[in-house]
Amino acid sequence: MEDTPNQAVYDVIIAGAGPVGLFLACELALAKCSVLVLEKAAHPHSPLKQLPFGMRGLNTLSIEALDRRGLLPELEVPNRFQQPHHIAPTKPGSKPQAGGHFAGIQFSVDTIDPAQWQYRLPSSTAPQLLAELEELELVLARRAAALGVRIERGQTLTDIQQTAHSVTVQTDEQTFAGHWLVGCDGGRSTVRKAAGFDFAGTEPEFTGYSTQVDLADPEKLKPGRNVTATGMYMQSQPGYLILQDFDGGAFQKAGQPITREHVQALLRRISATDVTISALHLATTWTDRARQATTYRRGRVLLAGDAAHIHAPLGGQGLNLGLGDAMNLGWKLAATIRGHAPAGLLDSYQSERHPVGAQVLDWSRAQVAIMRPTPAARALHAIIRDLMQTRDGATYFAGRSWGIATQYDLGSAHPLVGRSAPSFELEDGTTLGELLRTGRGILLDFVGTTCLKTLASEYSSQLHYVSGRAKEPAGLQAVLIRPDGIVAWASDHAPAMGALQQAAARWFSRHAESRL
């Protein structure tokens, strides 16, 4: 951190101490940047972040990211909902394991064909797990503080100004200065609006409700997820009721208070019963509005998480998308700040993450299209249900939902390049997750080649050379892995040095550090 005569100047100011802002703060601080996080809420607790409202499904990519920073054990130990690590048929007679859903249609883990995921190794972390949002934020805030991040709560960002060299941020109480600002301030982002980002997309078709209620006559409702002629209702656990009303998003748009009378009338209409809600304890609404910032960067201001993209929470993708943004942006912004970013490194945040965000928005739109209470949508729903029960169908939906199918186009013909690296384990027991915890890139050499070691030494401040036999090398001889765990280069044969040199120079710099 620099000090001007009047004020500290942070490398990065982050607006929002949600999961994305906090994870990004950890990534930047790990790379020795000074970080200030400004958060509107005075304290980190909220019933909407606690179970059952705060239940969030983490996908494979998020779990791998947390593992690669040593954060997983803190979440995993008390996690009661963890899926088995190995995707295999359950024993005959036992209940099929639910793998997730698309438009409310469940796919089963047992139906998946793991052989289609060539690089998913037996040493992989769990493909998905359920976490509590509040707990995730507390774990991330604790790590951020341990890394020296300053988190200021009760500071609502109200405006910003940027020059070619810095950004000034106003809150309702103070002014702060930084070289960069990242808006992680959620779907209604003030940063996005103040910096003039375009937020393009589609308007909602429904209002969704998550409510905690007492029902006088719960037997009048059917169990499970019920799609009816006017919407959907689901009681996922006693008293926790989720509703979907195809009102064009009108209720949420009007900003009306959510009363017991309103929820009861809605539930009666959707369920076609005269069920009675005797008390409404807590309620929140959401919609399927799907918008994405057309660019993720304007000058020295960047966006990540819900500030950059919003969509319906169907099938649980938003948090995973945001954590992926943070993992992708952190090391690139840090390298830019520390003066060792190759040309175009920061631009690759947009070129890699924007298409992934657009895919998730379409994934949610496709679900809405077959959830509409119309005969055409129901007919399509039935076809998707049939397809999802096939082996290829379940594997496709799991690959998309769990993030296993995600691949950045890095211009290589090798099928692994651009994907999250397999969770290799060396014969001495060291895992890739452990090797990546310092936040440096890894050149993993399974056969011990002198020229690879020499090349890695040219990038020694950013790249760690590791030689050792892997328990399951997946047919590979050597792999270059970026700090975010993405494969930048891979070789199944004796390495072609030209391609490796090109890949190393694209992501890392030979120059010694010179802070900008």
Ligand X SMILES: Cc1cc2nc3c(=O)[nH]c(=O)nc-3n(C[C@H](O)[C@H](O)[C@H](O)COP(=O)(O)OP(=O)(O)OC[C@H]3O[C@@H](n4cnc5c(N)ncnc54)[C@H](O)[C@@H]3O)c2cc1C
Residues that bind ligand X (CB under 6 A): 15-21, 38-41, 56-57, 156-157, 184-186, 190, 210, 286, 305-306, 313, 316-320, 322
Closest approach, Cβ 164 to ligand X, in A, equals 24
CB 473 to ligand X: min, Å: 32
**Closest CB to ligand X among 40 and 464?**
40
Helix H or strand E encompassing 10: strand 8-15
Buried b (16+ CB within 10 A) or exposed e, 54-90: bbbbbbbbbbbbbbbbebbebbbeebeeebeeebeee
Shortest spacing between CB 443 and ligand X, in angstroms: 32
CB of 316 to ligand X, least distance (A): 3
Nearest distance from residue 466's CB to ligand X, in Å?
A: 31
Which is closer to ligand X, CB of 47 or CB of 342? 47
- Is 475 exposed, middle or buried (CB count within 10 Å of its CB: 0-12, 13-18, 19+)? exposed
Which residue number, 406 or 491, has a Cβ lying nearer to ligand X?
Answer: 406
For ligand X, the closer of residues 103 and 452 by Cβ is 103
Q: What is the number of H-type helices and E-type strands within the chain? A: 14, 25
Could you list the beta-strand ranges (E) of 59-197. Answer: 98-102, 105-108, 129-132, 150-153, 157-162, 167-171, 175-183
Query: And the tokens for 169?
Result: 């941020």
Nearest approach in angstroms of CB 435 to ligand X is 26
CB closer to ligand X, 313 vs 418: 313
User: Exposure pattern of 158-196 as b/e (b: 16+ CB <10 Å)?
Assistant: eebebeeebbbbebeeeebbbbbbbbbbbbebbbbebbe
Closer CB to ligand X, 140 or 456, in the complex: 140
Give me the least distance between CB of 141 and ligand X, in Å please: 11
Cβ closest to ligand X, residue 66 vs residue 463: 66
Q: Rounded to an integer, what distance in angstroms lies between the CA atom of residue 243 and that of residue 241?
A: 7
* Least distance between ligand X and beta carbon 388 (Å): 19
Task: Please state at what angle helix 133-146 crosses helix 19-30, rounded to 10 degrees.
Answer: 20
We find the least distance from the C-beta atom of residue 374 to ligand X, in angstroms, to be 24
- Under the phi-then-psi rule, with left for phi > 0, alpha for psi from -120 to 50, and beta for the rest, what region is 475? left
Residue nearest to ligand X (CB): 18
10 Å CB burial of residue 198 (0-12, 13-18, 19+) is: exposed
Judged by beta carbon, residue 209 or residue 408, the one nearer ligand X is: 209
- H/E element, 233: strand 231-237
CA 46 to chain centre: 21
**DSSP code string of 461-480:** TTEEEEE--BSS-TT-SEEE
Cα 240 from Cα 250, distance rounded (Å) = 23
Q: Minimum distance between the CB of residue 415 and ligand X, rounded to whole angstroms?
A: 26
CB of 40 or CB of 365, closer to ligand X: 40
Give the single-character DSSP code of 279.
E
How does 424-459 read in b/e, with b if 16+ C-beta sit within 10 Å? bbbeeeebbbebbeebbbbbbbbeebeebeebbeeb
**Could you tell me the sign of the dihedral formed by the alpha carbons of 91, 97, 99, 105, in that order?**
positive
Kindly tell me which of 304 and 486 has the beta carbon lying closer to ligand X: 304
Six-digit token string for 450 = 């002198």
Smaller CB distance to ligand X: residue 40 or 253? 40
Query: Cβ of residue 138: shortest distance to ligand X, in angstroms?
Result: 13
